[in-house]
Structure 1
Amino acid sequence: MLEHVELFFKSIFIDNMVFATFLGMCSYLAVSKKVSTAVGLGAAVIFVLAVTVPMNWLLDQYILRDGALAWLGPEYAEYDLSFLSFILFIATIATMVQLVEIIVEKFSPSLYNSLGIFLPLIAVNCAILGGSLFMQSRDIETLGLALNYGISSGIGWFLAILAIAAIREKIRYSNVPAPLRGLGITFIITGLMAIGFMSFGGMLTGGDEAEPTSEVKTAQTEPASEVEEITKENTASIEAVQVSEITQQ
């Protein structure tokens, strides 16, 4: 349970797709002029990541990685189809994006028109493919963790585009210097937001630093005891030499 909670908050704040790895910046910058549009695209990204990451985890575990085909028989245990990862991952993502596009067009034509070309472009959004590739590189062990990672990564991207959309709506009425208007001030705000999200790293990794400190303390106390023993032995040897000299005299 603790592993799920840690992965959830770490994927949202510390390893945020936009602020930590700067993935999906094209959609992040283009569709963040209105909050309503940003909410629609963010919800679509959450849905696509929540479905594609677990599906690609199953593909990686039972088809792609070295020895994954052992369930078909011992003669297939030596096959390694990892070179097909990009093709199968992108095919899964494209299929789910088409499903999302059909659903949005059916139930919300206004949102479909406002998103425009960026809704089908989710299929080539590097944040979506990055979620599956990060899942593969981190060796996530269970399907539940893969689903957790997909949802939390989508929520992190959703919070990023929602925050910048809200700021850009307010900043229209601000006195921004002419050279910084548009994407200039947006990049500056994005950098400041990234610094703010990085500050969550100390909150979620504080518990990991408790054990090394205790080990350092024990490591520091052990040499001190050894030095005391050495000094005692040297003192005893010096006293023995002095006693022998006195007896000789």
Structure 2
Amino acid sequence: MIRSLVAIFLAAILTENYVLNKFLGICPFLGVSKKLDTAFGMSCAVTVVMVIATAVTWPLYTYILVPQGLEYLQTLVFILVIAALVQLLETALHKYMPPLYNSLGIYLPLITTNCAVLGVTMLVLEKGAADPSFGFVQSLVNAFGSGVGFLVAMLLFAGVRERLEDCDIPETFRGLPITLVAASLVAVSFLGFNGVVDRLAG
């Protein structure tokens, strides 16, 4: 049991990273990764929303939508839950952490439309349908791992972008081109973890 949970957690961070492997959540990944402190704050906020959203949406889907035959409302219900959670988080940050609230700016309310958050809540249901042993606890571990994976990707990329500011970059690559090149190299670097996680899961 513990081994399988560790495998799910590590897979969500390394081999099934929602940003670097599934390419979800690219908007905040590119927009809030210029500074390490901002990237860290945004990642923590996304992680909190991912875990709480999964904790709320999984029982809603399993015990309310499915028994009532309302599975087709899944996307609508999940977006409403995520929007409510983001609103609560935004209010809390505005009251207790104004500097972080101001530095995140427009990207904080955009967590509502962050496809990585919605992707986590929906893809755990697909995993549960494919594997009956993938239940509520596994979904929460997957959501937390996905949030940590988002954090790792953001911090790595923020560090790379801060280093790039001190480099003499050819004019052709300045701005968005070098950012995309750096993002692709960070994503490729995670491919080396495939065998490690597969061996642990086996």
Q: TM-score, normalised by structure 2?
A: 0.93
Tell me what 1:131 maps to: 120
Confirm or deny: 8 A CA contact 2:44 2:151 kept in the other structure.
Answer: yes
Structure 1 CA distance for aligned equivalents of residues 91 and 114 of structure 2? 18
Structure 2 CA distance for aligned equivalents of residues 148 and 205 of structure 1? 17
Structure 2 CA distance for aligned equivalents of residues 42 and 135 of structure 1? 20
Structure 1 CA distance for aligned equivalents of residues 176 and 54 of structure 2? 31
Tell me what 1:157 maps to: 150
3-state secondary structure, aligned to 2:195: helix
User: How far apart are 1:185 and its partner, in Å?
Assistant: 1.1
Tell me what 2:74 maps to: 85
Tell me what 2:53 maps to: 52
Distance verdict in 2 for CA 1:33–1:200, change over 3 Å: same
Q: Deviations over 1:15-44 (max 9, x none)?
A: 001110110101110111111111110000
Highest RCO, 1 vs 2 (Cα 8 Å, sep ≥ 6): 2
Confirm or deny: 8 A CA contact 2:7 2:200 kept in the other structure.
Answer: no
- The alignment status of 1:64 with 2:65, answered yes or no, reads yes
Structure 1 CA distance for aligned equivalents of residues 92 and 154 of structure 2? 22
Unaligned 5+ runs, structure 1: 69-78, 210-249
Unaligned 5+ runs, structure 2: none
User: How far apart are 1:168 and its partner, in Å?
Assistant: 0.8
1:100-119 map, 5 Å: 100-119=89-108
Tell me what 2:44 maps to: 43
Confirm or deny: 8 A CA contact 2:15 2:191 kept in the other structure.
Answer: yes
Identical-pair percentage: 37
One-letter code aligned to 1:145:
Q
Indicate the RMSD between aligned Cα atoms, in angstroms: 1.4
Structure 1 CA distance for aligned equivalents of residues 56 and 134 of structure 2? 14
Q: Identify which of 149, 171, 174 aligns with 1:181.
A: 174
Tell me what 1:220 maps to: none
Structure 1 CA distance for aligned equivalents of residues 161 and 141 of structure 2? 30
Q: Identify which of 130, 141, 145 aligns with 2:134.
A: 141
Distance verdict in 2 for CA 1:91–1:207, change over 3 Å: closer
One-letter code aligned to 2:173:
L
Structure 1 CA distance for aligned equivalents of residues 164 and 42 of structure 2? 21
User: How far apart are 1:141 and its partner, in Å?
Assistant: 3.3
Structure 2 CA distance for aligned equivalents of residues 207 and 52 of structure 1? 28
User: How far apart are 1:149 and its partner, in Å?
Assistant: 1.0
Moved over 4 A (4+): none
Structure 1 CA distance for aligned equivalents of residues 166 and 116 of structure 2? 31
Q: Which has the larger Rg?
A: 1
Structure 2 CA distance for aligned equivalents of residues 41 and 206 of structure 1? 32
User: How far apart are 1:205 and its partner, in Å?
Assistant: 1.3
User: How far apart are 1:199 and its partner, in Å?
Assistant: 1.2
One-letter code aligned to 2:97:
S
One-letter code aligned to 1:100:
L
Aligned length: 197
User: How far apart are 1:208 and its partner, in Å?
Assistant: 6.7
Q: TM-score, normalised by structure 1?
A: 0.76
